[in-house]
Structure 1
Amino acid sequence: MAFRIHTLVAAAALSCALSASASAELVVIVSARSPAPALSGDQVASIFLGQAGRLPDGVEVMPVDQRIGSHERNQFYQQVTGKTPALLKAHWSKMVFTGRGQPPREVPDSATVRRMVADNPSMIGYIDRSALDESVRPVLVLR
């Protein structure tokens, strides 16, 4: 009986630890060479939902997405747009069908997003905060 209780307590502790680490701190990034200002969540949402193709200062911007199903992508869209993966898919199906837009380019992970954004001052992406380096700079921190 005591073994069962210890096992249940250990499992509960592990579950709490995993759920705490499952919610990473994400940052929306631009190239360190980009003149882009800090952005609001609404501005970032408009860019990533294909409703805005320019930054507030008029500079054209291209969003880069993480792969479908990744934790970062799901967390980003939930926090910034309030959309679940299913709602996001429906949004882009409608945008593509009506000819109003194409979804952002998709890449495999935070390191790839960081490299692409660092190399192209007109790109914007989101990564886990732990992947930040001097080649990019955050314009929005998601908590």
Structure 2
Amino acid sequence: MKIFNNILKALTLSSVLIAGLAQAEIAVIVSASNANGNLDQDTIARVFLGKSKTFPDGSQAVPVDQTAGSDSREAFSSTVLGKSSSQLKAYWSRLIFTGKGTPPKESGDDAAVKNLVANNPNLIGYVDSAVVDGSVKVVYKF
């Protein structure tokens, strides 16, 4: 019985460590040439939900989503937007049907989004913070 308890403790500890490693930090990014600094969660959510088309400095803000189902997108949607993927799908379906909005373009994985954002000061996206380099500026992290 003692061996069984030790094995159970080891498995529990291993699963906690693996779960901690699986949760990467997500960075919301803009081009390094974008004049905006830190943005708050509300501002970011308004841009990604189509409620605002500009950054705080008045320049155009164009959101870029990762491919549906990616870990980064799921984390961003639930944490920043406060919606599950099914809630977001329903939200955008209503707006599209009424002609009141268009969802952000899906632009691939972390590397693809980083490259797009780096080359256009009007874009805003999110990536795993491990891929951030000098070509982009982090405006929010979670």
TM-score range, shorter chain: over 0.9
Taking only aligned residues, the RMSD between alpha carbons, in angstroms, comes to 1.4
- For residues 106-139 of structure 1, the C-alpha deviation after alignment (integer angstroms, 9 at most, x for no partner) is 1221111110000111100011111110000111
Counterpart of 1:53 in structure 2 is 53
SS of the residue 2:36 aligns to: coil
- For residues 90-119 of structure 1, the C-alpha deviation after alignment (integer angstroms, 9 at most, x for no partner) is 111111111111111112211111100001
Q: Which runs of 4+ in 1 moved over 3 A?
A: 1-7
AA in 2 matched with 1:115:
N
Separation of aligned partners in 2, 1:107 and 1:11: 38
Deviation at 1:3, TM superposition (A): 5.0
**Does residue 73 in structure 1 map to residue 73 in structure 2?**
yes
Deviation at 1:9, TM superposition (A): 2.5
Q: How many residues align?
A: 142
AA in 2 matched with 1:90:
A
SS of the residue 2:65 aligns to: strand
Counterpart of 1:89 in structure 2 is 89
Counterpart of 2:124 in structure 1 is 124
Alignment of 1:15-26 (within 5 A): 15-26=15-26
Q: Which runs of 5+ in 1 are unaligned?
A: none
AA in 2 matched with 1:47:
V
What fraction of aligned residue pairs are identical, expressed as a percent? 42
AA in 2 matched with 1:96:
I
SS of the residue 1:124 aligns to: strand
AA in 2 matched with 1:106:
E
Counterpart of 1:113 in structure 2 is 113
Separation of aligned partners in 1, 2:15 and 2:55: 41
User: In terms of mean alpha carbon deviation, does 45-54 or 15-24 score higher?
Assistant: 15-24
Deviation at 1:37, TM superposition (A): 2.9
Taking structure 1 as the reference length, the TM-score comes to 0.92
Counterpart of 2:138 in structure 1 is 138
Taking structure 2 as the reference length, the TM-score comes to 0.92
AA in 1 matched with 2:128:
D
